[in-house]
Chain A
Amino acid sequence: MYINVFLYTISCIFVLLSHSAMLLNVYFNGSSESTANVIILAVAVLGLDFAYFIIMLMFKQRTYAIDFLLILILNMSVIFQSCFGGVHLSVKHYITCIVSLVACKLGYMICKNHKWLQMQKKYIYLAIGILILAILTLTGSRSMWINIGSISIQPSEFIKPLFVLACATSVAEQQKKHKFLWFYVVYENFALYGLTAVICLLQWWCSDLGSLPTFVGIFICGFFLRICYPKAKFSKKTLISAGVILLIVALIALRFAPDYVQERLHADIWNDKTGNGYQQSHALIAIADGGWFGKGPGNGSLCNIFAHENDIVFATISEEWGLLFALMVILAILIMIAVPLINPPRSYYHSTMSAGVCAYFIMQMTLNIFGSCNMIPFTGVTIPLISAGGSSMATSGFMVGMLIAAQSPEFKNPDGRQYRNAPVRRRTA
Chain B
Amino acid sequence: MEFFNDTSNLFLCAVSAAALDLCVLVLILIAYNEKKHAQQHWNMISGCMELSAPDASYPLNCDEILIGRHASADIRLPDLSVSRYHAILTVSDGIWTITDIGSKSGIFVNGTLVTERVLMENDVINLGNKRLVFRRRRNNNVH
| Chain A complexes with chain B | yes
Q: Chain A contacts of B120 at CB under 8 A?
A: 423, 426-427
Of A2-10, A140-148, A270-278, the one contacting chain B is A2-10
Assess A343 versus B34: contact at CB under 8 Å? Given A25-B12, A293-B13. yes
Q: Does A68 lie at the interface of the complex (its beta carbon under 8 Å from any beta carbon of B)?
A: yes
For the complex, give the distance between the alpha carbons of A62 and B32 in Å.
Answer: 13
Interface 1/0 per residue, A229-272 and B, CB below 8 Å: 11101000000000000000000000000000000000000000
Residue A322 CB within 8 A of the other chain: yes
Contact segment of A11-19, A161-169, A207-215, A311-319: A11-19
**CB pair B30 A65 closer than 8 Å:** yes
Residue on A nearest B85 in the bound complex, by CB: A175
Chain A, residues 48-79, CB within 8 Å of chain B (1/0): the string is 00000000000000111110110010001000
Q: How far is the CA of A329 from the CA of B53 in the complex (A)?
A: 50
A346 at the interface (CB under 8 A from B): yes
What B residues does A216 contact at CB under 8 A?
A: none
Q: Is the CB of B101 within 8 A of A175?
A: yes
Residues A62 and B23 in contact, CB atoms below 8 Å apart: no
Select which of A10, A231, A335 is within 8 A of B24 by beta carbon. Answer: A335
The reply on A197 being an interface residue by CB < 8 A is no
Question: Which of A15, A18, A325, A423 sits near B118, CB closer than 8 Å?
Answer: A423
B19 and A421 contact, CB distance less than 8 A = no
- Of the four ranges (under 10, 10 to 19, 20 to 34, 35 or more), the interface on chain B belongs to 35 or more
B38 to A412, Cβ gap below 8 A? no
Which A304-344 residues sit within 8 Å CB-CB of chain B?
321-322, 324-325, 328-329, 331-332, 335, 339, 342-343
Residue A413 lies at the interface, judged by CB distance under 8 Å to chain B: yes
Q: In the complex, which residues of chain B have a beta carbon less than 8 angstroms from the beta carbon of A324?
A: 13, 17
Asked if B72 contacts A228 (CB within 8 A), the reply is: yes
- Which residues of chain B come closer than 8 Å to A332, judged between CB atoms? 20, 24
Set of chain B residues within 8 Å of A347, measured between Cβ atoms:
62-64
Question: Is A293 a contact of B35 with CB atoms below 8 Å?
Answer: no
Q: Would A343 and B19 count as touching, CB distance under 8 A? A: no
Smallest CB–CB gap between B49 and chain A, Å? 11
A412→B72 contact, CB < 8 A: no
Interface size class of A (residues with CB under 8 A): 35 or more
Is B51 in contact with chain A by the CB < 8 A criterion?
Answer: no
Complex CA gap A63/B39 in Å reads 12
Complex: A346 Cα to B61 Cα, angstroms: 7
Asked if residues B123 and A427 are in contact (CB atoms below 8 Å), the reply is: yes
Flag if A22 contacts B16 (CB, 8 Å). yes
Residues of A within 8 A of B34 (CB): 2, 62-65, 343, 407
A329 and B30 CA atoms in complex are apart in Å by 19
Nearest chain B residue, comparing its CB with the CB of A324: B17
Q: How far apart sit A324 and B15, CA to CA, in the bound complex (Å)?
A: 12
Question: Is the beta-carbon distance between B102 and A423 smaller than 8 angstroms?
Answer: no
Per-residue contact bits, chain B 1-42, to A (CB 8 Å; 1 contact, 0 not): 000000011101111111111111011101111110110011
Q: Does A294 touch B at the CB level, under 8 Å?
A: yes
Answer whether A422 and B122 are a contact pair too, CB < 8 Å, given A11-B30, A62-B41, A325-B13: no
Most buried by B among A233, A335, A346, A347: A346
Contact indicator A72/B92 (Cβ below 8 Å): no
CB-defined interface of A394-429 with B at 8 Å, one 1/0 digit per residue?
A: 000000000000010001110000010111001111
**Which residues of B, 58-92, contact A by the 8 Å Cβ criterion?**
61-64, 66, 71-74, 85, 88, 91-92
Given A322-B13, A428-B122, answer yes or no on A28-B8 (Cβ-Cβ < 8 Å).
yes
Q: For A108, what are the chain B residues with a Cβ–Cβ distance below 8 Å?
A: none
CA distance A331 to B17 in the complex (A): 12
Residues on B with beta carbons closer than 8 Å to the beta carbon of A115: 92
Is A21 among interface residues, defined by CB-CB distance under 8 A?
A: yes
Instruction: Let me know if B27 and A229 touch, CB within 8 A.
Output: no
- Cβ of A343: which chain B residues have Cβ within 8 Å of it? 31, 34-35, 38
Q: Does B113 contact A (CB under 8 A)?
A: no
Query: What's the nearest-Cβ distance from chain B to residue A428, in Å?
Result: 7
| C-alpha spacing A66/B35, complex, angstroms | 13
Are the CB atoms of B88 and A348 closer together than 8 Å? no
Alpha-carbon distance A102/B61, docked complex (angstroms): 32
Asked if B16 contacts A21 (CB within 8 A), the reply is yes
A24 at the interface (CB under 8 A from B): yes
Return chain A residues, CB-CB under 8 Å to B117. 421
Are B27 and A11 in contact, CB atoms less than 8 angstroms apart? Answer: yes
Q: Which 6 pairs between the two chains have the least Cβ-Cβ distance? A: A21-B19, A65-B31, A18-B23, A14-B23, A423-B120, A413-B92
Pick 12 A–B contacts, CB within 8 A, sort by A.
Answer: A21-B15, A22-B19, A22-B20, A63-B34, A175-B85, A293-B13, A296-B9, A342-B31, A411-B45, A421-B118, A426-B120, A427-B123
Given contacts A29-B13, A325-B17, 14 further A-B contacts (CB under 8 A): A14-B26, A18-B20, A24-B15, A62-B41, A115-B92, A175-B85, A177-B85, A229-B72, A321-B16, A328-B17, A343-B38, A348-B64, A413-B93, A426-B121
